[in-house]
């Protein structure tokens, strides 16, 4: 797919399906001084068969990447053509392209035990990774655009609905509740469970926030990250992606630095994954239809 077509489709999807403010601002400057030796080095790029690749999840136990593929536009079409692929984390080779099928527009993923949890527009889908079967579909009432997933140490699954400003929670006992809701969530997308707090990347407001589990207080920590999408941890620091095609390094004292910018070539940076053992960042490129792997040098 050429870059002009990629960019045209990207504009179409954002105009029709996402909060408008995400593309209205853009920041490429560091919010504070960070060591200059932080950089990314390309390791591999997969074949361009991962159509509309939205999220990457690394299953360490099985040493495999799961890649959720919306497979076309718009990203909220209930067309049952979405799928999850299995990809090698070593070289990006496709292990099984359509490992899980029958999904509409799969996005965020999280894993507890042998269960892979996947958001699918208005339902939470549960997959047994041992058998490769969908074991349960949990409908979410009034959901419009279920997006990212995070899991905690107690077995709870949290997931965002970017269009309704809600964060949902699915308990180990199978109880579904709305954990938080309101415009102060800023069009929530990326989630990361981090001890006593939940980290949130907003797609609508375009910033990075912290949510205290006990008080549910929301604290903006870094501004000007438009199109907030994926969050991963690097030691005590974070990597946060901007769907439009950027990745930021964010320190624990809330300084940020732009370390990847692929907007000009029409490659997005959706829901990223990070393997701290190999210091590898995996970036799903959405309209680029592939996953790119980078070595983080810091």
pLDDT in tens, 121-148: 999 999 999 999 999 999 999 999 999 9
Contact 252, 266 (CB under 8 A): no
pLDDT tens digits for range 197-208? 999 999 999 999
Is pTM, for the whole model, over 0.75?
A: yes
Please list the alpha-helical segments (H only) found in the chain. 3-17
Of 165, 124, 121, nearest in space to 145 by CA: 121
Own/partner pairs for 261-265, CB < 8 Å, 24+ apart? 261/28, 262/288, 265/3
Residue 46: its H or E element:
none
Enumerate residues 6+ apart whose C-beta is below 8 A from 243. Answer: 22, 189, 203, 227, 228, 229, 268, 269, 270, 286
pLDDT tens digits for range 206-219? 999 999 999 999 99
3-state secondary structure of 257: strand
Q: What domains appear along the chain, each with residue ranges and CATH number? A: 3-297 (2.120.10.30)
């Amino acid at each position: 797919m050429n870059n002009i077509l990629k960019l045209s489709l990207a504009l179409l999807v954002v105009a029709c399906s996402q909060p408008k403010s995400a593309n209205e601002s853009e920041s490429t400057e560091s919010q504070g001084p960070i060591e200059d030796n932080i950089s990314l080095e390309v390791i591999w790029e997969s074949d361009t068969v991962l159509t509309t690749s939205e999220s990457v999840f690394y299953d360490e136990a099985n040493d495999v990447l799961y890649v959720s593929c919306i497979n076309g536009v718009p990203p909220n079409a209930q067309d049952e053509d979405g799928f999850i692929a299995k990809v090698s984390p070593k070289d990006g080779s496709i292990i099984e392209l359509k490992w899980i099928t029958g999904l509409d527009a799969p996005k965020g993923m999280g894993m507890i035990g042998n269960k892979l949890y996947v958001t699918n527009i208005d339902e939470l889908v549960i997959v047994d990774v041992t058998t490769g079967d969908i074991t349960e579909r949990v409908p979410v009432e009034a959901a419009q655009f279920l997006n990212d997933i995070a899991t905690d140490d107690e077995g709870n699954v949290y997931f965002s609905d970017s269009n309704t400003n809600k964060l949902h929670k699915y308990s180990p006992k199978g109880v579904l509740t709305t954990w938080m809701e309101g415009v102060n969530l800023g069009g929530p997308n990326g989630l990361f469970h981090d001890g006593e707090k939940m980290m949130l990347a907003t797609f609508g407001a375009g910033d990075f926030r912290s949510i205290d589990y006990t008080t549910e207080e929301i604290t903006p920590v870094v501004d000007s990250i438009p199109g907030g999408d994926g969050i991963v941890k690097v030691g005590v620091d974070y990597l946060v992606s901007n769907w439009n095609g950027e990745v930021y390094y964010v320190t624990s004292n809330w300084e940020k630095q732009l370390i990847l910018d692929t907007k000009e070539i029409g490659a997005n940076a959706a829901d990223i994954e990070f393997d701290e053992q190999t210091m590898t960042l995996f970036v799903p490129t959405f309209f680029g239809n592939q996953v790119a792997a980078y070595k983080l040098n810091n």
